[in-house]
Amino acid sequence: MESRAFELIAAEQARQNNNIELIASENFVSENVMRAVGSCLTNKYAEGYPTERTSGKTGRYYGGCEVVDQLEEYCCDKWREVFSTDYHVNVQPHAGSSANLAAYFSVLKPGDTILSMDLNNGGHLTHGSAVNFSGKLFNMVFYSVTENGFIDYDDIEKKAAEYRPQLILAGASAYSRIIDFKRIGAIAKAYGAYFMVDMAHIAGLVAAGMHPSPFGIADIVTTTTHKTLRGTRGGMIFCRPELAKKVDAGIFPGTQGGPLMHAIAGKAVTAEEACAPAFKEYIAQVLKNTRAMCDTFISLGYDIVTGGTDNHLFLIDFTRTHPTLSGKDVQNELDRHGITLNKNCVPGEKRSPAQASGVRIGCAAMTTKGWKEEDAVACAKRIHEIITALAAK
């Protein structure tokens, strides 16, 4: 049977094979993750939770769930093993955004105050953007970064004292440094706020022990499974055991219907892979490659937000070095050369987010393709040539 859809899938496969992929939130999953996500599990309705999970009361709303019950329990156990935690986990969120929506609803009411990281400085849409449910439903207040782009912990304390938020949120989409969860957690405790960490970007580093863990500090931890964790597209929520019922109710029936059991199968395979020793080696190589690439840009005279990186990404700020170029110009030009990345706002941004004055670069995906430090250095030099030619036009 001829299928336009499969023609397009083949075209996208070719694009993924040929391009250099530097989008910090992307990765390439294993064949086994693909097999799980493309399996018969997509056929099964399983609204609710495995029966044992919540004192036997909730259960599933459909018959025939004896296998998926075991799969979901196994998936949860495996993720607790990945993060060496006894936190409760809900593996049903369809995405990181759905995880955040349900997490907020589990402990907050509309109109409550959330203190989160300023979106222009690295926060995510679901951390309070005016065009997102978070900004429409909650009273959002933001902490800032210092002039150099580091999280301003004193500002968190100041804003917590001033606004008395019900929840303080840590975590970002574009922040290249270690986040001090202990310090933010202590501020949340002092002001009686819930402490939530959205570790979507750095979850793979946390799993590998290469970023401090939020477990034991945060009340709620949300994540995606498809960035540095290198798994199927999806979300998860972890919480202290005493919040389990609220978090589960926040997902179902609060914000979702039937879980995507094929995605849960994919998450289980992802967890198996994250437990294997090879995953630690992978994350260690991601960090080496990112550092090598970032250092090359520094030696070529570029300004890097915060002056460097501790994780899988970094941000280049063109404001001083290439004032006529926007992040969008650079993104488009690199696209023409088969290099994929995204424009990004920088601290003190003067342009609109649609233009931006910087780009975000991540090495998680290309490390999966086998990159070593010399490949990262060569790519930085190639990008420099392309940017130099573009600026001279």
Ligand X SMILES: Cc1ncc(COP(=O)(O)O)c(C=O)c1O
219 part of the interface to ligand X, by CB under 6 A: no
CB of 223 to ligand X, least distance (A): 8
Which of 175/252 has CB closer to ligand X? 175
Residue selected from 201, 262, 291, 312 as contacting ligand X according to rule CB under 6 A? 201
Contact between 387 and 333 under an 8 Å Cβ cutoff? The reply is yes
CB of 161 to ligand X, least distance (A): 26
Contact between 287 and 178 under an 8 Å Cβ cutoff? The reply is no
Which of 51/340 has CB closer to ligand X? 340
CB of 236 to ligand X, least distance (A): 11
Catalytic residue among 47, 73, 155, 303: 47
Which residues have C-beta within 8 Å of that of residue 370, sequence separation ≥ 6? Answer: none
Phi, psi dihedrals of residue 69, rounded to the nearest 5°: -60, -45
Catalytic residue among 69, 198, 273, 333: 198
Residue selected from 27, 120, 132, 224 as contacting ligand X according to rule CB under 6 A? 224
CB of 69 to ligand X, least distance (A): 25
Residue selected from 27, 120, 173, 311 as contacting ligand X according to rule CB under 6 A? 173
Catalytic residue among 58, 224, 228, 368: 224
Q: By CB under 6 A, which span of 187-195, 197-205, 359-367, 382-390 interacts with ligand X?
A: 197-205
* Closest residue to bound ligand X by CB: 96
Contact between 115 and 156 under an 8 Å Cβ cutoff? The reply is yes
Residue selected from 48, 165, 171, 347 as contacting ligand X according to rule CB under 6 A? 171
Structure tokens at 237: 């929520």
Phi, psi dihedrals of residue 177, rounded to the nearest 5°: -120, 165
Structure tokens at 182: 């202990």
Is 360 one of the annotated active-site residues of the chain? no
| Cα(180)–Cα(173) distance, integer angstroms | 16
CA atoms within 13 A on the CB side of 269: 22
Is 381 one of the annotated active-site residues of the chain? no
Q: By CB under 6 A, which span of 55-63, 78-86, 96-104, 260-268 interacts with ligand X?
A: 96-104
Strand partners, 48: 60
| Cα(8)–Cα(4) distance, integer angstroms | 6
CB atoms within 10 A of CB 241: 9
149 part of the interface to ligand X, by CB under 6 A: no
Catalytic residue among 78, 233, 267, 328: 233
Strand partners, 68: none
Which of 108/387 has CB closer to ligand X? 108
Residue identified by tokens 């530097």 is 22
CB atoms within 10 A of CB 343: 21
Q: Residue 90 is which amino acid?
A: N
Contact between 72 and 265 under an 8 Å Cβ cutoff? The reply is no
200 part of the interface to ligand X, by CB under 6 A: yes
Q: Residue 365 is which amino acid?
A: A
CB of 377 to ligand X, least distance (A): 27
CB of 37 to ligand X, least distance (A): 14
Of 184, 197, 246, the residue nearest 223 (C-alpha): 197
> Helix H segments across the chain?
4-18, 31-37, 66-82, 96-107, 133-137, 153-163, 181-190, 203-207, 244-251, 261-275, 277-299, 327-336, 364-368, 373-392
Residue selected from 44, 60, 88, 124 as contacting ligand X according to rule CB under 6 A? 124
Q: Which of residues 229-258 bind ligand X (CB under 6 A)?
A: 235
Is 198 one of the annotated active-site residues of the chain? yes
- The verdict on whether omega for the bond into residue 353 sits within 30 degrees of 0, i.e. cis, is no
Is 47 one of the annotated active-site residues of the chain? yes
95 part of the interface to ligand X, by CB under 6 A: yes
Q: By CB under 6 A, which span of 11-19, 93-101, 137-145, 154-162 interacts with ligand X?
A: 93-101
Residue identified by tokens 């968190």 is 156
Residue selected from 27, 92, 116, 126 as contacting ligand X according to rule CB under 6 A? 126
25 part of the interface to ligand X, by CB under 6 A: yes
Catalytic residue among 60, 78, 227, 267: 227
CB of 214 to ligand X, least distance (A): 13
Q: Which residues are catalytic?
A: 45, 47, 198, 224, 227, 233
Residue ranges binding ligand X (CB under 6 A): 25, 95-97, 100, 124, 126, 171-173, 198, 200-201, 224, 235
